[in-house]
Structure 1
Amino acid sequence: MMRSAPRPLLWLAALLAVYLCAPFLASIPQIGHADWASVDWRATWSAVGVSAASASVAALIILAGGVPLGYWLARSSSRWTALLGFVVQLPLALPPLTSGVLLLFLLGPYSWIGRVFGGMLTDSFAGIVLAETFVAAPFLIVAARSAFAAVDPVFDDVAATLGHHAGSRFFRVMLPVAWPAIRAGLALAWLRAFGEFGATVMVAYHPYSLPVYTYVVFGGQGLPAMMPLLLPTLAIALVCAALSIYSRGNRAGTLAKMDNGDEPPVIAATSATASAAPDLRLAVQLARHLGTFSLDIAWAPSTRRLAIIGPSGSGKSMALRLIAGLEPNEGGAVTLGGIDLDGQPPERRQIGYMPQDYGLFPHMTVAQQLAFPVDADTASAQYWLEHLGLAALVDRLPHQLSFGQRQRVALARALTRHNQLLLFDEPFAALDTPRRRRLQQSLRDLQREISAVTVIVTHDPDEAALLADEVLVIEHGRVLQSGPVEQVFEQPATMRVAELLGLHNVGQGVIKAPGLIEARGGFVLETADRSIPSGCEVMWRVSSHAIVPSPNGVHVGVIGAVGLRHGERYVSVNVGSVCLEFANEDDGRHESDRCQFAIDPAGVSVWRCRV
């Protein structure tokens, strides 16, 4: 339902709307005073033809050069490009007569260019085209620049990882996505060229274009004789307006009701796709500096299901982009199965890359998405359509799909290339918890079926534990810890790693005697592990099941919080500066209550501090 605008805004809008409509209404009574008998229809239609033809030629010239120029201005950040962008918009600010004078300096019969062409660039059809091109080009350039700037660069990145070179990415992805706005700019440029008078009359008084001929008739015969000449211009304006309205209505009519069925299909291993897994191992040495931030990572995992975890701004996504070749690796190496990928552009790395929003091209149907990769396997695409429950969606555009369906389409698109490396940049970040858990499990099942190396970037420890066999923990562009998931989660190297992994009942301390740990604030723990000698700095972890409330317990604390986690009731107890959590279904315990408990030494693990 449309919300009504505030009353002052409504009045301002109505005032301008009335002013814009009033000239058309005022012209209606004047139709009866038009001098129809004096109209030279042959000259009129000749002028209409000259204007339409010259505007069309100028529009084609503007389209051919304005789209690349707009793309360049949108993608470049240099000062020279900014200056060029300012200069090419100057014709918008200049009076048309001034533009005509400037063009005479360049193209007139006494200029060096004019002499080269024998004075044929003025008072000619070519002169009209040149004048209209100069005046109308900024309309398309500005529209193209804005359109390309609004296109998400991730589309170009994804197209590169699907094997397309720069030219193919521009014509098949960037230009189609930006085309609606460019088309509007082209229409404005054509209309501006068709109605151009000031520059045209200075550069090419002959042959008559429609605006120049209208001015000549007005000067010689007055307003009544000129009025019939307005009809062609008004007719063209009405046609353009009607086409614009039809285009908007047609686009709105294409919107289909979204199917929110996000239940992923069950994926079972099958010999049809699970080929013999080669001995693929990923090894990376990544270095990148951007302003004050620097990334410096070395990682050589020994398994194929990997995860990179860290807080926002830690460099996770940058690391993934460096592996994909989407950003330059400043002094490192990326190898996969002994093959050096670092010297290859992204289109030659044979990888699948899924950004956070999946990177589906908005102008392509599901079938077109799967056929887009350079070396897409038709049989494989059909298999994954059926296998991922997408067969009924092949004619849908991305905006007609639910989040879960988009994720599966992106997966299928990557899998049609038989990629050896799949990169996922927080693929479930935008989903609610139940839907995220279902799709995570679906991806885990898929990982068991394919032989590719998968790298998941996430800030969710549970997601990393589910989807990876090895994990890399980073912060501020540096490695905090790496290793098998079980090892990293069970024995975090530092308290910061434990915090990032969301671990509880973890702390630091010193071995005071074999089996005795003194933690912060004098809190003493007993452990069954007596292998670490006295005086060593250690980290420890207490299993929540090892904490047993008991009136005879040797530990006494104060309950800090009581809450639910995964449907179970957890109690947080503060013992000095140490906080311990344990599951407890006794709803008689409340915050600030005194709690006495015992800790089973067998449930206390201890290891030396690694850093």
Structure 2
Amino acid sequence: MSRAPARPLLWLAALLAVYLCAPFIASIPEIGRADWAGVDWRATGSAVGVSVASASVATLVILIGGVPLGYWLARSQSRAVELLGFVVQLPLALPPLTSGVLLLFLLGPYSPVGMLSGGTLTDSFTGIVLAETFVAAPFLIVAARSAFSAVDPVYDDVAATLGHRAGSRFFRATLPVAWPAIRAGLALAWLRAFGEFGATVMVAYHPYSLPVFTYVVFGSQGLPAMMPLLLPTLAIAVVCAVLSVYSRNTRMSAAGVVPHDNGDEPAAPVAAALPADIDELRLAFDIKRRLGAFSLDVTWRPATRRLAIIGPSGSGKSLALRIIAGLEPNDAGSVTLGRTDLGALPPERRQIGYMPQDYGLFPHMTVTQQLAFPVDADAASARYWIEHLGLSTLTTRLPRELSFGQRQRVALARALTRHSQLLLFDEPFAALDTPRRRRLQQSLRALQQEIAAVTVIVTHDPDEAAQLADEVIVIEHGRVLQAGSVHAVFERPATLRVADLLGLHNIGEGVVRAAGEIQTAGGLVLATADRSLATGTRVMWRVSPRALRATPDGAYAGSIGGGTLRHGDRYVTVEVGGESFDIAAEDAPIMAADALRFAIDPGGVSIWAAGS
């Protein structure tokens, strides 16, 4: 539902709107005083033709050079390019006559360029085009620069991983996204060129363009004779305004409404035979990358096809994924998939599927076009995944007409249409609500069992890592804290920090005091059934929630603390001997007292050697 602007803003808007409309209204009574009989319609038509032709040619020149220049200015970080960006905007600040004088210094008949061209660059149609190009070009360049700056680089990244080279990525992904803003700048450039007077009259007084001809008639015959010449200009302005409104209404009607999710689960997986040599398909990487003060150093030789990289924000996990994809350079080390050295290949040749956090769907492409976009997209495979992922009713929709869950399925289908051997997922479910996220995680896990690709999931959600991976790497500040199978890492975290990142509870550090007995860092002495570790060994310990119970003759004094809710289950915190334990709420004492007695079953206390 649209919301009306605040009243002060409405008054200010109305005031400016009235001022802009007033000159047109004031001109209406003057029409009757115009000298229609004395109009030289042949000269007027010639002037209109010169202005339309010169503005069109100048705009074409501006388009051909201005779009690449705007892209260069938007993407370059060079200070020299920033200075160039300032210079190309100077014609906007200069008086038009000054611009004409500057052009005479360059193109005039007595300048080196003018003498070389025989003086043909002034007082000619070419001179008009050159003057209009100089004055009008900044309108397109500024619009193109802003448009390309606003284009998310993820589109270029995704296009690269789908097999497109730099030129194809620009013309098929980046330019179409930026085109609406560039088109608006192009229209402004044409209008500015059509109405240009100052620079044109200095560089090319002949042949007459419409603004120059209007000035000449006004100077020689006065206002009544000039009045009819305003009609072509006003007519063109009206046509441009109508086209602008029509274009805007067309875009609004095509936008549609983002639908609600009516089931984000794909159809039941269809069994598919895996290649006989699937066990040989393994991803291995040794990644070293420095970005300013941050450095990433991650090495892994996995034993399975499903890997998760887990860590907090800023830990380097997304950077590692981009290096695997070839979107960031690897300063040292290697990335291999089976016998293929991926590090030696550009991203467009790595045969991978890459899903960034927001899925990277191209806003100007329908679902069908998204799936046909990969260079080696297989039509039969696309049809299969459209049906398999429940997309058959969405094929003509644009991304803005899809729900988050539908976008995720489209991005997954697009990656799968090219038979990728490596699928990379960067926080694929971060933007979804919990119920939908759980459903899509289950769906992706089912697909992992079906497809033959290696999958790497980057996430900060331990449950997601445990569900979608067989092996996990825990990283922080660019370093590996622990790596191994999901079972081993979750059952025996190497440090308290790893346990914290994995969301584990009832875990702490301690020292073996005697066989079957440890002392925690908080001073609590725990008995354990594990007698394998020598006295004095630094250990990690874990107490099962079921091993701790309240009993009048318990060996430990304690108290009941606060409660928490995890995945719909309520837990109560118990303070015992300087350590905190979480137990299920139904196992907690009914009456919370200041002093209670607790027993801890040694069979529920597990210990293992602590990591460094």
- What TM-score, normalized to structure 1? 0.98
Per-residue deviation at 1:292? 1.2
Q: Report the counterpart of residue 228 of structure 1 in structure 2.
A: 228
After superposition, what is the alpha-carbon deviation per residue over 1:530-558, rounded to whole angstroms, capped at 9, x for unaligned? Answer: 01011111000111121222222212212
Partner residue of 1:267?
268
Counterparts of 2:129 and 2:378, CA distance in 1: 48
Is 1:127 aligned to residue 127 of structure 2? Answer: yes
Q: Which residue of 2 aligns with 1:343?
A: 344
Alpha-carbon offset, residue 588 of structure 1: 6.5
SS at match of 1:503: coil
Cα distance, 1:585 vs. partner?
1.6
Match in the other structure for 2:584: 583
The residue type paired with residue 508 of structure 1 is E
Residue type of the alignment partner of 2:405: G
Alignment: residue pair count: 610
Q: Deviations over 1:170-208 (max 9, x none)?
A: 000000000000000000000000000000000000000
Distance change (3 Å), C-alpha of 1:517 and 1:588: closer
Structure 1 Cα separation of the partners of residues 37 and 279 of structure 2 = 87
Q: Which residue matches 1:143?
A: 143
One-letter code of the match for 1:109?
P
Aligned equivalents of 1:594 and 1:421: distance in 2?
57
Change beyond 3 A, Cα 1:590–1:117: farther
2:319 counterpart residue number = 318
Q: Which residue of 2 aligns with 1:87?
A: 87
Paired with 1:475 and 1:582, the residues of 2 have a C-alpha distance of 29
* Cα separation, 1, equivalents of 2:415 and 2:564: 42
Contact kept? 1:508, 1:540, Cα under 8 Å:
yes
Aligned to 2:419: 418
CA distance in 1, matches of 2:553, 2:592: 21
* Aligned-pair CA distance for 1:584: 3.0
Alignment of 1:64 onto 2:64: yes
CA RMSD of aligned residues (A): 1.3
Partner of 1:506: 507
**For 1:269-284, what aligned pairs fall within 5 Å after superposition?**
269-271=270-272, 274-276=274-276, 277-284=278-285
Amino acid at match of 1:568: D
Q: Higher mean Cα deviation, 59-68 or 512-521?
A: 512-521
* Cα distance per residue 1:110-169 (max 9 Å; x no partner): 111111111000000000000000000000000000000000000000000000000000
Where in structure 2 are the equivalents of 1:3-152 lying within 5 Å?
3-152=3-152
Tell me, yes or no, if structure 1 residue 171 matches structure 2 residue 175. Answer: no
Distance in 1 separating the partners of 2:184 and 2:66 = 13
> For 1:453-464, what aligned pairs fall within 5 Å after superposition?
453-464=454-465
Q: What is residue 521 of structure 2 aligned with on the other side?
A: 520
How far, CA to CA, are the matches of 1:230 and 1:224 in structure 2? 11
User: Equivalents in 2 of 1:565, 1:313: separation in Å?
Assistant: 25
Q: CA deviation at 1:593?
A: 4.3
- State the alpha-carbon separation in 1 of the partners of residues 127 and 577 from structure 2: 88
- Residue aligning to 1:572: 573
2:383 equivalent in structure 1: 382
CA distance in 1 between counterparts of 2:577 and 2:467 reads 34
Deviation at 1:295, TM superposition (A): 0.7
Measure, in 2, the Cα distance between the counterparts of 1:566 and 1:358: 26
Distance 1:442 1:33, change over 3 A: same
Q: Deviations over 1:549-598 (max 9, x none)?
A: 22222122121212333333311112243110111326864777434221
More displaced stretch, 392-401 vs 572-581? 572-581
Q: Cα 1:522–1:93, aligned 2, differ >3 Å: closer, same or farther? A: same
Per-residue displacement from partner, 1:482-527 (whole Å, max 9, x unpaired)?
0000000000010000000000000000000011010023201111
- The residue type equivalent to 1:97 in the other structure is L
Amino acid of the residue matched to residue 557 of structure 2? V
- Answer whether contact 2:136 2:189 (CA < 8 A) is retained: yes
1:182 aligned onto 2:160: no
Moved more, 329-338 or 249-258: 249-258
Provide the C-alpha distance between the structure 1 equivalents of 2:355 and 2:468, rounded to a whole number of angstroms: 15
The answer on whether the counterparts of 2:267 and 2:390 sit within 8 Å (CA) in structure 1 is no
Equivalence for 2:162: 162
Report the TM-score, using the length of structure 2 for normalisation: 0.98
Compared CA separation, residues 540 and 588, structure 1 to 2 (3 A): closer
Post-superposition offset of 1:9:
2.4
For the residues of structure 1 that align with 2:594 and 2:184, how far apart are their CA atoms?
Answer: 69
Q: What amino acid does structure 2 have at the position aligned with 1:255?
A: A
Residue aligning to 1:364: 365
Q: State which drifts further: 207-216 or 292-301.
A: 292-301
Hey, what does 1:535 align to over in structure 2? Answer: 536
User: 2-side partners of 1:73 and 1:60: how far apart?
Assistant: 20
The answer to whether the Cα contact below 8 Å between 2:572 and 2:584 also exists between their aligned partners in 1 is: yes
What amino acid is the match of 2:498?
A: V
8 Å Cα contact 1:420/1:452 also seen in 2: yes
Give CA-to-partner distance per residue, 1:393-437, whole Å, 9 cap, x none: 111100111111100100010001111100000000000100100
Pick which of 209-218 and 333-342 moved more.
333-342
**4+ runs deviating over 4 angstroms:** 586-593
Seen in structure 2, the aligned counterparts of structure 1 residues 589 and 128 have a Cα distance that, compared at 3 Å, is: farther
CA distance in 2, matches of 1:169, 1:590: 67
Residue 488 of structure 2 aligns with which residue? Answer: 487
* Post-superposition offset of 1:604: 1.1
Give the deviation of 1:266 after TM superposition.
3.5
1:429-475 Cα deviation digits (max 9, x unpaired): 00010010000000000000011110000000000000000000000
Assess if the C-alpha contact under 8 Å between 1:275 and 1:450 holds in 2: no
Q: Report the Cα distance in structure 1 between the residues aligned to 2:369 and 2:46, rounded to whole angstroms.
A: 46
Q: Distance in 2 between matches of 1:135 and 1:487?
A: 68
Counterpart contact for 1:562–1:591, Cα < 8 Å: no
Q: Is the 8 A contact 1:351 1:419 kept in 2?
A: yes
Which piece of structure 1 moves more, 3-12 or 281-290? 3-12
Deviations 1:323-373 (A, max 9, x none): 001011101210110211112110011110000000000000000000000
Secondary structure of the 1:357 match is coil
Aligned to 1:447: 448
Q: 1:591 to 1:400 in 2, by over 3 A?
A: farther
Letter in 2 for 1:483: G
Find the residue that maps to 1:353 and give its secondary structure.
strand
Identity of aligned residues (%): 74
Residue 278 of structure 1 and its aligned partner are, at CA, apart by 5.0
Specify the SS of the correspondent of 2:134.
helix
Give, in whole Å, the separation in 2 of the partners of 1:581 and 1:266.
Answer: 39
The letter for the 2-side match of 1:366 is V
Q: Does 1:192 align with 2:230?
A: no
Letter of the aligned partner of 2:217 in structure 1? V
Give the aligned partner of residue 559 of structure 2. Answer: 558
Q: Tell me how far 1:387 sits from its aligned partner.
A: 0.6
In 2, are the aligned partners of 1:510 and 1:537 still within 8 Å (CA)? yes
Question: Could you tell which deviates more after superposition, 78-87 or 580-589?
Answer: 580-589
**1:331 corresponds to which residue?**
332
Would the alpha carbon gap of residues 592 and 425 (structure 1) be closer, same or farther in structure 2, given more than 3 Å must change?
farther
SS of alignment partner, residue 266 of structure 2: coil
Rounded to whole Å, the distance in 2 between the matches of 1:594 and 1:433 is 38
Counterpart residue type for residue 299 of structure 1: W
For the structure 1 residues 595 and 363, does the alpha-carbon distance in structure 2 shift closer, same or farther, using more than 3 Å as the test? Answer: farther
User: What are the Cα deviations for residues 8-60 of structure 1, in whole angstroms up to 9, with x where unaligned?
Assistant: 32222222111111100100110111110010000001000000000000000
- Matched to 2:211, the amino acid is P
Q: Secondary structure at the match of 2:344?
A: coil
Which residue of structure 2 lines up, in the alignment, with residue 545 of structure 1?
546
CA distance in 1 between counterparts of 2:534 and 2:34 reads 109
**What CA distance in whole angstroms lies between the structure 2 residues aligned with 1:30 and 1:227?**
8
Name the aligned partner's letter for residue 190 of structure 1. Answer: W
Secondary structure of residue in 2 paired with 1:37? coil
Distance 1:93 1:278 in 2: 66
1:599 counterpart residue number: 600
Where 2:173 maps in the other structure, the secondary structure is helix
Q: Label 1:298 to 1:592 Cα distance change in 2 as closer, same or farther (>3 A).
A: farther
Q: Distance in 1 between the 2:456 and 2:432 partners?
A: 19
